[in-house]
Structure 1
Amino acid sequence: MGEPEFVIPNDESVSADDIHPDADLSGVDLSKSLLVGAHLAGADLSDADLSGAALREADLSGVDLSDAKLNVAVLRDADLHDADLSRARLTRATLTGADLSDADLTRAKFAAADVTDADLAGANVSDAILLDTTDR
């Protein structure tokens, strides 16, 4: 089985070669990107736009996603443990089965997000907005 193929349709300054652990992708437009299974542990994605991105089974452990836009993103079974999602916007995001343990979710907006079976153990949810969030 080969390496996953990534599709980044909205930012010509970012290529598939830029998708790796500890990458500096702060402020980039990754909206509607196909990043299934991406290994981005420790990357800086602060203030990035990942709206509508497919990040299923991605390794986002320890990633800085502060102030990021993740509206309608699919993060099913993604590893987000110890990630910084402070002030991130996750309206209608799918986080089914995601590992958010020990993540910083301070002031994150999860309006209408699906967090079914997500692991939130040890996560800081201070002032997080969980309006109409699904957790079955």
Structure 2
Amino acid sequence: MSVDDLLKRYQTGERNFKGINLIGGYLNGVNLSGASLKGASLSEVDLSKANLVGVDLTEASLVRANLTGANLTEANLSGANLHEAKLTGAILDGAVLKMADLIDADFTAANLEGANLYGAHMMGTLLQGAIMPDGKINN
């Protein structure tokens, strides 16, 4: 599926895009709120400033994806692979990141308030200035 196909189908009301492959795609600033991208291959996709509120990204691959400034409020990223992903300034309030691979991801200045990070793999993760689930800023 191409980025254009995805956006056209989303605009017509479709929300189930389970398992799609958009490696290297450009989705900067798009609205995909409420979509199911469960198991999708989104490695190296530019999703900066995207509206991903309530999106299901369970077990999705977001390796080296750009999620700078994206709104992932209440998104489900359980088991997702965000290895080396860039989430600078992203909003993850209430997001579920259980068992997610966050190794070497950049969460600088991200809002993780209310996020569920249970069992997440965070080796090398940058959290400078991030608002953590306990409400404290990590410096």
Cα deviation for residue 12 of structure 1 reads: 4.2
The separation in 1 between residues aligned to 2:80 and 2:27, in whole angstroms, is 18
The alignment yields a C-alpha RMSD, in angstroms, of 1.4
- Is the partner of 2:131 in helix, strand or coil? coil
Name the counterpart of 1:130.
127
One-letter amino acid of the counterpart of residue 29, structure 2? K
Q: TM-score, normalised by structure 2?
A: 0.87
- Is the partner of 2:9 in helix, strand or coil? helix
One-letter amino acid of the counterpart of residue 40, structure 1? L
Structure 1 residue ranges without an equivalent (≥5): 1-10
Question: Which structure dedicates a bigger proportion of its chain to helix?
Answer: 2
Structure 2 residue ranges without an equivalent (≥5): 11-15
Cα deviation for residue 17 of structure 1 reads: 3.0
**Match 1:98 to one of 87, 95, 99:** 95
Cα deviation code 1:41-60 (max 9, x no counterpart): 00000000000000000000
One-letter amino acid of the counterpart of residue 113, structure 1? A
Q: Is 1:78 the equivalent of 2:75? A: yes
The 5 A counterparts of 1:1-136 are 12=4, 14-17=6-9, 20-135=17-132, 136=135
The separation in 2 between residues aligned to 1:63 and 1:110, in whole angstroms, is 18
- Is the partner of 1:15 in helix, strand or coil? helix
Q: TM-score, normalised by structure 1?
A: 0.88
How many pairs were matched up? 126
